[in-house]
Amino acid sequence: MSDYEFDTLQLHAGQEGSDPSTRARAVPIYATSSFTFDDADFAADVFSGKQQGNQYGRMHNPTVQAFTDRLVALEGGTGGVALSSGQAATTTILFSLARPGSNFVVSKELFGGTFAVARKLLEPWGSSFIAVEPSPEAVAAKIDENTVGVWVESIANPSCSVPDIAAIAKLAHAQGVPLIVDNTWGCGGYICQPIALGADIVMHSATKWIGGHGTFIGGAVIDAGSFVWSEERFPAFHKKDPRGKTYLDKGGVAPFAARAYDLGLFTMGMTLSPHSAFLGLQGLETLSLRVQRSCDSALELATWLEKQPVVKRVIYAGLPSHPSHEVAKRTLQHGFGAVISFETQDLETAKSFLDNVKLASHLANIGDAKTVVINPWTTTHASLSEEARRAAGVSPELIRLSVGLESVNDLKQDFAQALTRVKVA
Ligand SMILES: Cc1ncc(COP(=O)(O)O)c(C=O)c1O
């Protein structure tokens, strides 16, 4: 399959031909917790890893496997794991790499939920985050002998800043550290391909553009298969299990995926349901078409919003005014993402805009086929201190806008009427 282009892979990867047992063309929803074994020897072989087979639904399900394989193909990885949410993917990656005393050098603009995992789980357990400006120099300066990962997002929320993934990967590798990219805003690999730029581990909240219709919660971890796991920094990868095997033995070309499977599915049980995986597969089939449309509309809307008198500032990496514009041009493809942030006059005008939009939905999600808006200051980022919110690029007057698939003219009309109800200072 790997010779096919993205548009073909999003339809066919993970399912060759039709379903082998029923000839169903769509991937069926295998709604079962368990699978029978042909005989006792086969059962023993499946459990020991000698033969491929479905052991138990917490770890194995053919619908989930097809979804996982399709995403791995789209991101150019060698293996992966689908999980019950983006948060589950984050938790799995962090605990797959961390050991007490270790640290992660992370972008200070990471999604708040990622910092929550660090604060509530990782730190009490003895590992920590070192948050820096996501520039290659700032990241490299903080890596030390206990660093077990560098973590950035392909496009940050809500500042829309784009890190130089290729340069950061090079500097992290020079110090023996893997680069993890949360590629949620990179839209399933269509807008950003972190592995091609040098990243070692990619994660997604599949809840967003991958599903694309706001119908389920899901996540994924993808292994580039290229990182060399040194024994000093990553002892867990070299430790033999009771059968005498390490993750390097078990994972083959995807050792990180083997560890993520063991921790995220087998141990923590953060399993994606086959029903959700089916919705994910449906979403992936039209991924490039949907995302292209949203990104084209986003660029048009960003340019239009810049001209509106009530709008103080538009934040979108597709605009030459954005500090990341040049980096974004070489790091992203097909467009600059589907989310725009913009500042109105103050918090009251931001609230008035939200109360007056009719077509756009006011809710806490992104990546839906329908356009959505929110004020991060009072909602998604409200649990952070004022200082932390400002450091993440969140001001009281900010609106985050995830552009959907509606007619861009209708969206402009909706925003124009909502903005005219806002008093100009
Ligand atoms: C960039 C990013 N990463 C991770 C997550 C967590 O994903 P989920 O909500 O699917 O758990 C989100 C959710 O908003 C996100 O925006």
Ligand 1 mean position to 285 CA, how many Å? 21
Q: What is the dihedral of CA 4, 8, 9, 11, to 10 degrees?
A: -160
- 111/156 Cα distance (integer angstroms): 8
Decide which of 109 and 165 is more confident: 165
- 249/87 Cα distance (integer angstroms): 28
User: Could you tell me if 87 and 298 are in contact, meaning their C-beta atoms sit under 8 angstroms apart?
Assistant: no
Question: Is residue 424 very low, low, confident or very high in pLDDT (cuts 50, 70, 90)?
Answer: low
pLDDT at 263: 98
Q: What is the dihedral of CA 402, 136, 253, 61, to 10 degrees?
A: -20
Ligand 1 mean position to 205 CA, how many Å? 5
The single residue listed with the structure tokens 């100009």 is 424
Ligand 1 mean position to 210 CA, how many Å? 12
| DSSP 3-state of 305 | helix
Residue of 71, 110, 111 to test ligand 1 pocket, by largest number of atoms within 8 Å of CB: 111
Hey, whose CA ends up nearest to atom 7 of ligand 1? 86
Hey, whose CA ends up nearest to atom 16 of ligand 1? 111
pLDDT at 2: 72
| DSSP 3-state of 280 | helix
Hey, whose CA ends up nearest to atom 14 of ligand 1? 365
**β-pairing, 128-132 with 147-153?**
unpaired
Residue 287 host element (H or E):
helix 287-306
Ligand 1 mean position to 366 CA, how many Å? 9
Summary mean pLDDT of the chain: 95
| DSSP 3-state of 237 | helix
Ligand 1 mean position to 383 CA, how many Å? 16
For the cut 60, the answer to whether the pLDDT of residue 153 exceeds it is yes
CA–CA distance from 114 to each of 88, 101, 119, 121 (Å)?
10, 19, 9, 11
Question: Is residue 392 very low, low, confident or very high in pLDDT (cuts 50, 70, 90)?
Answer: confident
Q: Which of 278, 209, 266, 264 is nearest to 31 (CA)?
A: 278
Neighbours of 179 (CB within 10 A): 29
Q: Which of 288, 283, 313, 296 is nearest to 411 (CA)?
A: 296
In the chain, the percentage of residues whose pLDDT exceeds 90 is 92
Decide which of 281 and 382 is more confident: 281
Cis amide leading into 158 (omega within 30): yes
Ligand 1 mean position to 86 CA, how many Å? 5
For the cut 70, the answer to whether the pLDDT of residue 423 exceeds it is no
Hey, whose CA ends up nearest to atom 10 of ligand 1? 86
Neighbours of 228 (CB within 10 A): 12
Q: Which stretches within 98-155 are classed as H helix?
A: 112-117, 136-142
| DSSP 3-state of 295 | helix
- 30/278 Cα distance (integer angstroms): 9
Residue of 187, 191, 207 to test ligand 1 pocket, by largest number of atoms within 8 Å of CB: 207
**Each residue of 57-98: pLDDT tens digit?**
999 999 999 999 999 999 999 999 999 999 999 999 999 999
The stretch 326-347 carries a mean pLDDT of 97
The stretch 287-309 carries a mean pLDDT of 97
Hey, whose CA ends up nearest to atom 8 of ligand 1? 86
CA–CA distance from 357 to each of 134, 344, 371, 406 (Å)?
34, 14, 11, 14
Hey, whose CA ends up nearest to atom 12 of ligand 1? 205
Residue of 187, 201, 205 to test ligand 1 pocket, by largest number of atoms within 8 Å of CB: 205
CA 145 from chain centre, in angstroms, equals 27
For the cut 60, the answer to whether the pLDDT of residue 192 exceeds it is yes
The stretch 184-202 carries a mean pLDDT of 98
Could you write out the DSSP letters of every residue in 352-417?
HHHHH-SSSEESS--S-SS-EEE-GGGTTTTTS-HHHHHHTT--TTEEEEE--SS-HHHHHHHHHH
Considering only 24-38, 41-55, 153-167, 262-276, which range has the smallest mean pLDDT? 41-55
Residues with CB under 6 A from ligand 1: 85-87, 111, 113, 153, 157, 182, 184, 205, 207, 217, 219
Ligand 1 mean position to 249 CA, how many Å? 32
Q: Could you identify the atom of ligand 1 that is nearest to the CA of residue 219? A: 10
Q: What is the pTM of this model?
A: 0.96
Neighbours of 416 (CB within 10 A): 12
Q: Could you identify the atom of ligand 1 that is nearest to the CA of residue 364? A: 14
Ligand 1 mean position to 7 CA, how many Å? 25
Question: Is residue 422 very low, low, confident or very high in pLDDT (cuts 50, 70, 90)?
Answer: low
For the cut 60, the answer to whether the pLDDT of residue 352 exceeds it is yes
pLDDT at 162: 98
Going across the sheet that includes 361-362, the strands are: 313-315, 339-343, 398-402, 372-374, 361-362
- 357/239 Cα distance (integer angstroms): 56
**Each residue of 361-379: pLDDT tens digit?**
999 999 999 999 999 999 9
Ligand 1 mean position to 393 CA, how many Å? 18
Domains of the chain: 6-30+61-283 (3.40.640.10), 288-420 (3.90.1150.10)
Q: Which of 93, 185, 198 is nearest to 136 (CA)?
A: 198
User: Could you tell me if 113 and 87 are in contact, meaning their C-beta atoms sit under 8 angstroms apart?
Assistant: yes
**362 Cβ contact list (under 8 Å, min separation 6):** 354, 372, 373, 374
Decide which of 357 and 48 is more confident: 357
Ligand 1 mean position to 16 CA, how many Å? 30
pLDDT at 16: 86
Ligand 1 mean position to 203 CA, how many Å? 10
For the cut 70, the answer to whether the pLDDT of residue 425 exceeds it is no
Q: Could you identify the atom of ligand 1 that is nearest to the CA of residue 110? A: 1
